[in-house]
Amino acid sequence: MKDILALIKEKQQVYSQLPLFEFMQDQSIVPIKRLSFAPCAAPFIMSFSDLCKYVLRQDTTNDPIQKILNQHTYEDDFHWQWFLADLEKLDFNYSIHLNHSLRFLWSDKTKTSRFITHELYKVIVESEPVEKLIIMEAIEATAEVLLSITKQVTEELQLITNQEYQYFGSSHCDSEQDHNTRSNNVREFIETIYISERTRQKSVYLVEKVFELFTQWTYSLLTYAQGYQVSQPLVLQLDREQNLKVA
């Protein structure tokens, strides 16, 4: 397993250099714009709870690896509540008609955020517990990069707004570090798991697949953030785009 964990670290390092994270660390851009990808990320962030509860979790089990997975899903499946709270504090919670919301959530802008959930579902349901654990480790590695940088941005924002941000701020980062899988005994157990050559080959594919999906996701978030007009509510942007299509 140590070889696979080392591969995840290697992929994480490459992932951390993607343009989205450069954009987010550019202090010449106002902090709110650097986090303006948040509405575009909503389909995946909100559906991650379903992946935890209905795909990764299997409560009736004697498998020690599955038990670790189960514990992790219970620790993660409520984070969407923090996300909604931050949308409110970041002024992205516009009052709009249901049809406007649906049009946005199923638009091309959020296509990749929806697609990543479907693709993760497919690889998870076709995997054994140890492979699911590897998928989870890879997902957590991508989250660690994103959240470490959003934490920096929210720290800048806090000086302006005097508000704390749960999902994008230190609360989430601290929660990730407190996961059961980060405890010394569980970490040691994971590192010493034996995997066959066949499983190792599939695990390499799974790690590459996860980072490929999240890389595509970051590019869609960057495109959205770069085009976002900070002073323009989502409903006005949707109407403007619709008018342009009709014209």
pLDDT digits (tens, 9 = 90+) for 112-134: 999 999 999 999 999 999 999 99
This model's pTM is above 0.85: yes
Comparing CA positions, the residue from 43, 39, 30 lying closest to residue 92 is 39
How is the chain split into domains, by residue range? Answer: 2-238
What's the pLDDT at 34?
96
Which CATH superfamily is 2-238 part of?
Heme oxygenase-like (1.20.910.10)
Residue 235 banded pLDDT, cuts 50, 70, 90: low
- In this predicted structure, the answer to whether residue 243 has a pLDDT above a threshold of 80 is no
- Work out the number of other CB atoms within 10 angstroms of the CB of residue 169: 23
Which tokens is 78 given? Answer: 């409520």
Segment 98-119 mean pLDDT? 94
Cα separation, 198 vs 202, in Å, equals 6
Q: Mean pLDDT, the chain, as a whole number?
A: 90
- In this predicted structure, the answer to whether residue 24 has a pLDDT above a threshold of 90 is yes
